[in-house]
């Protein structure tokens, strides 16, 4: 059974928040870190995974991503702080 992830990534200084969805979290963050796909993440040096949530259904993940993307920055920061108060890179632990 496939898993789907909603994630929030940031740059080294934690000044940018990027919310995304993927079915391969490690590959996707690798793509961000190595600027494989051009766009927002490459432009703003998004390289750190600071939040992720797993879903069993793509539809649930898509709905969660849309919900989070609609939030103000402070609400996203509070969500991140619940699970990762130090904004550590979750793939480097």
Q: What is the pLDDT of residues 40-76, one digit of tens each?
A: 988 989 999 999 999 999 999 999 999 999 999 999 9
Going along the chain from its start, the domains and CATH numbers come out as 4-83 (3.40.1440.10)
- Rounded to the nearest 5°, which phi and psi values hold at 41? -65, -40
Res 93 pLDDT > 60: no
pTM of structure: 0.94
Residue 92's pLDDT is 84
Residue 1's pLDDT is 82
Res 84 pLDDT > 60: yes
DSSP H helical segments within 1-93, as ranges?
25-33, 40-43, 58-69, 73-83
Q: Compute the distance between CA of residue 93 and CA of residue 88 in angstroms, rounded to an integer.
A: 8
Poorest-confidence range of 9-23, 32-46, 48-62, 79-93?
A: 32-46
């Amino acid at each position: 059974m496939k898993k789907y992830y909603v994630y929030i990534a940031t740059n080294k200084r934690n000044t940018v928040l990027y919310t995304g969805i993927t079915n391969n979290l490690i590959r996707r963050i690798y793509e961000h870190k190595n600027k494989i796909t051009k766009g927002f993440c490459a432009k703003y040096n998004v390289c750190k995974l600071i939040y992720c949530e797993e879903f069993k259904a793509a539809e649930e993940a898509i709905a969660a991503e849309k919900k989070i993307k609609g939030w103000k920055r402070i609400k996203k920061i509070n969500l991140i702080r619940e699970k990762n108060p130090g904004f550590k890179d979750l793939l480097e632990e």
